[in-house]
Amino acid sequence: MLSPSELTQSLKSESNRLGFALTSCTAAADVVTMPHLEGWLDAGMHGEMEYMQTRRDAYRHPRSVMESVVSVVVLALPYQTVAPITDQPLSGRIARYAWGTADYHDVIHKRLKQLCKFAQALDADIITRGVVDTAPLLEREFAQKAGVGWAAKNTMLINREIGSYFFLAALLINQPLQYDAPFAADHCGTCTACLDACPTDAFVSPKVLDANKCISYLTIEHRSPIDVSLRPQMGDWILGCDICQEVCPWNRKPDPMGETVFEPQEQLNPLSLLELFDLNDDEFRARFRKTPLWRPKRRGILRNAAIALGNEANPDAVPALVKGLNDDEPLVRGASAWALRQIESSLARKELELRQSIEDDEYVLTELRGTYSSG
């Protein structure tokens, strides 16, 4: 049987070989930020993410994920590659983490499985479980306890060497390890760049994010129509948002460290929007099934694309938006109606009038009339 020190060094060496940039260890323990999480949930700041409310008690301790857990191995995988391309006509921005040829969940899960097999091969009594942001585990708290970094004012975890453009994963293990010292300092200081830059004012206060206003949440997790008051502030974001990270001084220093799998696919930095309205469900699935763009599904991405085109108000977008106006999905029709109303075009006005004469969905009718107000 390996000693805690020997087991720790073996795990760290293997995780490094697998491509994780950071590996740190801490004890499985009660979550100290539960009062903050419960207050956040009680205030409804989780939006439509009802799974968080349903699983709220499970967040209290990692044993809800693996009953025999003794230690948590925190792993970091950077994804920053090239600089984003902005201000391209009729295009939409996608958060850096989603540019690549694969969903990061799949990439990390594969490596976690290898790490689990490695650990179990060391001793038959070892039990492990790999986690990538789908289980009720507050990875950022355990990352701070393991010395990876500190919780910033934008709620992201920041490491002094690699900034905040990295994925967090965890390996739960039923063995004691040699634990790293927690990261006790907070190096945000008096800086409020992230809070000031948020277009939708999603930060209620430092370290408190109202998901209902967050562009990342709105474009991915929010499945309903988006509040009209927030649409103009969403700009050209189609999936996710990097603004609060882009303005962070701690992200100016690190060189791109992301692996080739996270480099942008053709036309994802940025994404050409007009062609999206030509894709049916099967075509959309074939193109995006293995990427993060699949999570909001076709209707969510087209809703977001319509809002971005409405914000740009370019008449060249009218033919694509007319296709959206006649889509099978009410969510797409409604967003396309809003977008067409933002564009000075006789064709847009004509199509809106025609659609209103045949539309039977009450929500879409409110968008056609300009009376819809809340999501």
Count of C-beta atoms within a 10 Å radius of residue 329: 19
Q: If we measure between CA atoms, which residue out of 96, 102, 101 comes closest to residue 254?
A: 96
Q: Is 25 helix (H, G, I), strand (E, B) or coil?
A: strand
360 catalytic, yes or no?
no
List of residues 6+ apart from 297 with CB closer than 8 A: 284
Q: Is 267 helix (H, G, I), strand (E, B) or coil?
A: coil
Beta bridge partner(s), residue 93: 237
Q: If we measure between CA atoms, which residue out of 363, 113, 66 comes closest to residue 226?
A: 363
Structure tokens at 101: 């040829």
Give the active site residue among 123, 133, 196, 281: 133
**Distance separating alpha carbons of residues 86 and 235, to the nearest angstrom:** 11
Q: If we measure between CA atoms, which residue out of 334, 265, 266 comes closest to residue 302?
A: 334
**Distance separating alpha carbons of residues 61 and 58, to the nearest angstrom:** 7
Q: Which amino acid is at 70?
A: V
The DSSP element (H or E) to which 110 belongs, if any, is helix 104-122
Q: If we measure between CA atoms, which residue out of 68, 67, 56 comes closest to residue 138?
A: 56
Cβ pair 77, 167 in contact under 8 A: yes
Catalytic residues, by residue number, are 133
